[in-house]
A and B are shown apart, each in its own frame.
Chain A
């Protein structure tokens, strides 16, 4: 056995960071009340206990099932979730008939944590997910297009990305993120050699062969359909971007990324020319102050972040309630107002760290499916955060995506925590040490000759008689009813009668599989 290089488990580090992250979330909640009423809320121990229980359960499940999982992913996610909860509660306080969405969000956090635990407990090996490539793809596409079904889909705030489920509404695209990243990963593992084949060259870039363009065109049309019919730029960007990024990772061909950007640019430009909702988004991005009423949300977000300045107004001291949809789309603007650019940058950095840990797992992974899946899950977070935070800070046109883990909304929370569960399973598998097979020479020299009792000798001496038996001798498939010694008795009767002291012992060597094994065994008898 050689020593191998492995990763530390670091569960203690995880527990400490988890406690720290929960303390920060609760700290935001307490500071809000301290700043607004100069007193702690009476129910704060309950909030602390609830978050702490969620963290503890997750930590214990990870200790039990995934001892080698990445120690940072859970605390980072928990911190974002805690800050989101505190901010939603702070926005609740600003509503005049007081709303209780933070309590609901806490309940959804618990549900999402349970979903994460279910993934951790039941997905022992992520590689089983590789089997259902096309089923996953069809399921993901169906989920993505589900809001377009008449009677089921629901248009809210101009985007048709919701469906009714009884009294609840649900964003199926959130679940589609997970399903489609699995589908893309397993598809690209199968097809990456073909997709990496070069066609012609143009301006020094190797272009893919025209016949391989099918999948990217399918995804392009699907994302255009989302853009046109669901009127959601963000979802469209998210899924097409995810596919192009994974295609690039799988094939290592920059031409795919360039082609993807060109295709998306063309699609977005066509959307801008023909659809008024895209034009509204673009005008509120480039020149929001020309139309105050139409771009009210973007303007309020901008003013909020500007009012916050470098260090923010402090928890509970700003006026983030002026921003429409501050709990969902614009929670980043509320954070920017109360925690300032310092806090908003910290939040962005935390998202960046989660993505970095996912990509790190992808680098360490030994099988291509694990590599692509970890990279895909990391890219989903990266693109989503880039699109929504870019929209809020006016780097990009505003898109209707949720801010992962922070925005109010059950489906988003559950889907994102499920993805975190899968990411943890992958990190555990890629970080746990694998025993490497030692070099054969070392292995033989390490094995010294040894004296063994006759019972075991009969077993190890069997190859000497094994040459007499046919090598293709068919074994009974249910071999457990045969005992080793009873098989050996008729073939090697000499060793079964311990008449002399020499026969009670035998030298066993590891060369028994060599052609000269008979001689080796006989040499053993003569000593």
Chain B
């Protein structure tokens, strides 16, 4: 190949390499601030194929209102579920459990468009819904029992 073609290919390759980096920089720039995700899209991504509006209303009516400790040292304790509850030993938890098997931030009950769900926050001894140890967020309705250590809880309307 001629000297000129070699030079051209060499410079062309380097130019493309730097173009790649410029593209990367542009992606980083446009990625900086994110974008608004609409509520409809969020619930659509949460429950694929479901009609979010209708589902959400029905779910709202059936939502449990309070969490009651049914068994354990604090049996009888009730607190409103509200927007969600953090359960654990830490002082920022809404439900401070007096139980030897509770981690600092043990589990979280949060409200989703389809109802409440329980999520284990990497606890040492696990979170059980209807005696099944959970590893991913699972739905938590009025008929479900939640067990953390030796404490049993259930949601009531």
Residues of A within 8 A of B (CB): 1-8, 10, 13, 17, 20-21, 24, 27-28, 31, 34-35, 38, 71-72, 75-76, 79, 124-125, 127-128, 130-131, 311-312, 314-315, 317, 339-340, 342-343, 346, 349-350, 353, 356-357, 367, 369, 433, 435, 437-438, 440, 447, 450, 452, 456, 459-460, 462-463, 466, 471-472, 474-475, 477-480, 482, 508, 510, 512-513
A71 to B46, CA, bound (A): 21
Chain A residues closer than 8 Å to B156, beta-carbon distance = 466, 471
A472 to B136, CA, bound (A): 28
The 9 closest A-B pairs by CB, nearest first: A1-B39, A479-B143, A513-B65, A437-B83, A314-B10, A6-B37, A127-B122, A433-B37, A472-B76
A340 to chain B, nearest CB (A): 7
Residues of B within 8 A of A (CB): 1, 6-7, 9-11, 13-14, 16-18, 20-21, 23-24, 27-28, 31, 33-40, 42-43, 45-46, 56-58, 60-62, 65-66, 68, 70-71, 75-76, 78, 80, 82-84, 110-113, 121-122, 124, 130-131, 135-136, 143-145, 152, 154, 156-157
A123 to chain B, nearest CB (A): 12
Whether A356 contacts B14 by the Cβ 8 Å rule is no
A343 to B17, CA, bound (A): 8
Whether A8 contacts B35 by the Cβ 8 Å rule is yes
A249 to chain B, nearest CB (A): 19
User: Contact check: which of A35, A72, A460, A510 meets B6 at CB < 8 Å?
Assistant: A35
A369 to chain B, nearest CB (A): 7
User: Contact check: which of A4, A35, A72 meets B27 at CB < 8 Å?
Assistant: A72
* Smallest CB gap from A6: residue in B: B37
* Smallest CB gap from B11: residue in A: A311
A14 to chain B, nearest CB (A): 9
**With A28-B13, A35-B6 given, is the CB distance from A1 to B43 under 8 Å?**
yes
User: Contact check: which of A10, A13, A76, A346 meets B18 at CB < 8 Å?
Assistant: A346
Chain B residues closer than 8 Å to A131, beta-carbon distance = 122, 124
Chain A residues closer than 8 Å to B36, beta-carbon distance = 3-6
Whether B20 contacts A21 by the Cβ 8 Å rule is yes
Chain A residues closer than 8 Å to B20, beta-carbon distance = 17, 20-21, 24, 79
A-B contact pairs, 15 of them (CB 8 A): A7-B31, A27-B13, A31-B10, A34-B9, A35-B9, A124-B136, A343-B17, A350-B21, A435-B42, A440-B83, A471-B68, A471-B76, A474-B71, A510-B61, A512-B65
**With A8-B35, A346-B14, A440-B82 given, is the CB distance from A474 to B65 under 8 Å?**
no
Chain B residues closer than 8 Å to A349, beta-carbon distance = 21
A367 to B121, CA, bound (A): 10
Whether B24 contacts A353 by the Cβ 8 Å rule is yes
**With A311-B10, A477-B145 given, is the CB distance from A346 to B21 under 8 Å?**
yes
Whether B110 contacts A437 by the Cβ 8 Å rule is yes
Whether A71 contacts B143 by the Cβ 8 Å rule is no
Chain B residues closer than 8 Å to A513, beta-carbon distance = 65-66, 80, 157
A146 to B129, CA, bound (A): 42
User: Contact check: which of A38, A128, A438, A440 meets B135 at CB < 8 Å?
Assistant: A128
Chain A residues closer than 8 Å to B57, beta-carbon distance = 447, 450
B141 to chain A, nearest CB (A): 9
A1 to B84, CA, bound (A): 14
**With A315-B10, A477-B145 given, is the CB distance from A8 to B121 under 8 Å?**
no
A173 to B47, CA, bound (A): 43
Whether A477 contacts B60 by the Cβ 8 Å rule is no
B112 to chain A, nearest CB (A): 6
Chain B residues closer than 8 Å to A13, beta-carbon distance = 27
User: Contact check: which of A38, A312, A438, A474 meets B1 at CB < 8 Å?
Assistant: A38
* Smallest CB gap from A478: residue in B: B130
Chain A residues closer than 8 Å to B144, beta-carbon distance = 479
Chain B residues closer than 8 Å to A474, beta-carbon distance = 70-71
Chain A residues closer than 8 Å to B11, beta-carbon distance = 311
User: Contact check: which of A6, A71, A76, A346 meets B34 at CB < 8 Å?
Assistant: A6
Chain B residues closer than 8 Å to A357, beta-carbon distance = 28
Given contacts A2-B39, A10-B31, A475-B145, 18 further A-B contacts (CB under 8 A): A1-B40, A1-B43, A1-B56, A5-B33, A10-B27, A17-B24, A20-B20, A27-B13, A34-B1, A76-B24, A124-B135, A127-B122, A346-B18, A349-B21, A433-B42, A479-B145, A510-B61, A513-B66
A439 to chain B, nearest CB (A): 9
A234 to B82, CA, bound (A): 53
Whether B157 contacts A435 by the Cβ 8 Å rule is no
Chain A residues closer than 8 Å to B33, beta-carbon distance = 5
A139 to chain B, nearest CB (A): 19
A513 to B157, CA, bound (A): 7
Whether A20 contacts B23 by the Cβ 8 Å rule is yes
Chain B residues closer than 8 Å to A437, beta-carbon distance = 83-84, 110-111
Whether A31 contacts B9 by the Cβ 8 Å rule is yes
A150 to B152, CA, bound (A): 54
A346 to chain B, nearest CB (A): 5
A315 to B7, CA, bound (A): 11
Whether A72 contacts B112 by the Cβ 8 Å rule is no
Chain A residues closer than 8 Å to B66, beta-carbon distance = 471, 513
* Smallest CB gap from A9: residue in B: B45
User: Contact check: which of B1, B61, B83, B135 meets A35 at CB < 8 Å?
Assistant: B1
Chain B residues closer than 8 Å to A79, beta-carbon distance = 20
**With A6-B34, A72-B27, A315-B13 given, is the CB distance from A475 to B122 under 8 Å?**
no
Chain A residues closer than 8 Å to B143, beta-carbon distance = 475, 479-480, 482
Residue of B6, B58, B80 most packed against chain A (CB within 10 A): B6
A471 to B80, CA, bound (A): 12
**With A315-B13, A339-B14, A456-B61 given, is the CB distance from A463 to B21 under 8 Å?**
no
Whether B9 contacts A314 by the Cβ 8 Å rule is yes
Chain B residues closer than 8 Å to A76, beta-carbon distance = 24
A125 to chain B, nearest CB (A): 7
Whether B122 contacts A369 by the Cβ 8 Å rule is yes
Chain B residues closer than 8 Å to A450, beta-carbon distance = 57
A512 to B60, CA, bound (A): 12
